[in-house]
């Protein structure tokens, strides 16, 4: 009996991993990109590589309403169904944002997992400091907790005034959508 259960789970695991491995990730990316066009967001000049269990996107430019908004060096997407993870490295924002925030973001991690199905968690680190972002899908709320860097505290004080300061030195921002 135990042998049959182990065998069943082994076959089930193999089947799930095979589905993930053979899923046409590049085609799914182009489908997502076509959906983003409805919001006037286009990614150009990117190079795609399907690595079996993940999709790598290299050296892209993000255009919003035909205006260059950001460039990135690497995006790694891992979609496993129960746990999904996106990592974006070396983001350079457009110079139009220079008066609001430092233009370099070293990394953004985005994760969604089945144990917490109503939230999308994000973590970002860059010249601005560190930020933890939670998107609550049920309440339709975006919540940001920012631990600003020295650069952010000195050069971008006007941006920090728009956020609520807590006693421990962190800044928060909350918005419903």
Asked if residue 96 and residue 67 are part of one domain, the reply reads no
CB under 8 Å to 170, separation ≥6 — which residues? 145, 146, 147
Percent of the chain with pLDDT over 70: 100
* Cα–Cα dist 41/66, whole Å: 8
Report the chain's terminal Cα–Cα distance, integer Å: 52
Task: Write out the residue range of the structural domain in which residue 59 sits.
Answer: 1-79
Asked if residue 172 and residue 88 are part of one domain, the reply reads yes
Confidence band, pLDDT 50/70/90 cuts, at residue 1: confident
Confidence band, pLDDT 50/70/90 cuts, at residue 82: confident
Query: How does the average pLDDT of the chain come out, rounded?
Result: 95
Considering its fold, how many domains does the chain have in total? 2
Asked if residue 89 and residue 75 are part of one domain, the reply reads no
Q: How far is CA 71 from the centre of its chain?
A: 14
Confidence band, pLDDT 50/70/90 cuts, at residue 28: very high
Asked if residue 161 and residue 174 are part of one domain, the reply reads yes
Q: For residue 43, is pLDDT > 90?
A: yes
Contact 26, 48 (CB under 8 A): yes
Percent of the chain with pLDDT over 90: 96
Q: What does the pLDDT average to over 10-14? A: 95
Asked if residue 95 and residue 171 are part of one domain, the reply reads yes
Asked if residue 63 and residue 99 are part of one domain, the reply reads no
Quick one: pLDDT at residue 171? 97
Quick one: pLDDT at residue 84? 95
* Cα–Cα dist 67/50, whole Å: 28
Q: What does the pLDDT average to over 57-85? A: 95
Asked if residue 168 and residue 92 are part of one domain, the reply reads yes
106: how many CB neighbours lie within 10 A of its CB? 12
> How is residue 37 written in tokens?
């066009």
Q: For residue 152, is pLDDT > 90?
A: yes
Q: For residue 81, is pLDDT > 90?
A: no
Confidence band, pLDDT 50/70/90 cuts, at residue 133: very high
Q: Which of 87, 94, 54 is nearest to 73 (CA)?
A: 87
Q: How far is CA 126 from the centre of its chain?
A: 14
* Cα–Cα dist 29/75, whole Å: 12
* Cα–Cα dist 117/70, whole Å: 29
Query: What pTM did the predictor assign?
Result: 0.89
Q: Which residue, 79, 103, 122, sits at the end of a domain? A: 79
Q: Which residue, 63, 79, 95, sits at the end of a domain? A: 79
Asked if residue 126 and residue 72 are part of one domain, the reply reads no
What is the widest separation between alpha-carbon atoms in the chain?
Answer: 67
Asked if residue 149 and residue 66 are part of one domain, the reply reads no
């Amino acid at each position: 009996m135990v042998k049959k259960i182990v065998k069943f789970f082994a076959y089930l695991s193999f089947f799930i991993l095979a589905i993930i491995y053979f899923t046409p990730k590049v085609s799914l990316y182009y489908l997502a990109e076509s959906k983003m066009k409805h919001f006037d967001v286009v990614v150009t000049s990117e190079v795609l590589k399907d690595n079996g269990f993940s999709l790598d996107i290299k050296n892209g430019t993000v255009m919003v309403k035909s205006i260059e908004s950001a460039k990135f060096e690497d995006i790694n997407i891992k979609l496993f169904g129960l746990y999904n993870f996106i990592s974006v490295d070396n983001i350079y924002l457009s110079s139009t944002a220079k008066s609001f925030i430092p233009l370099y973001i070293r990394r953004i991690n985005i994760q969604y997992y089945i144990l917490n199905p109503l939230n999308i968690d994000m973590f970002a680190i860059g010249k601005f400091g560190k930020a933890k972002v939670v998107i609550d899908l049920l309440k339709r709320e975006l919540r940001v907790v920012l631990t600003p860097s020295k650069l952010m505290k000195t050069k971008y004080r006007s941006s920090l005034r728009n956020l609520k300061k807590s006693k421990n030195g962190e800044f928060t921002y909350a918005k419903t959508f």
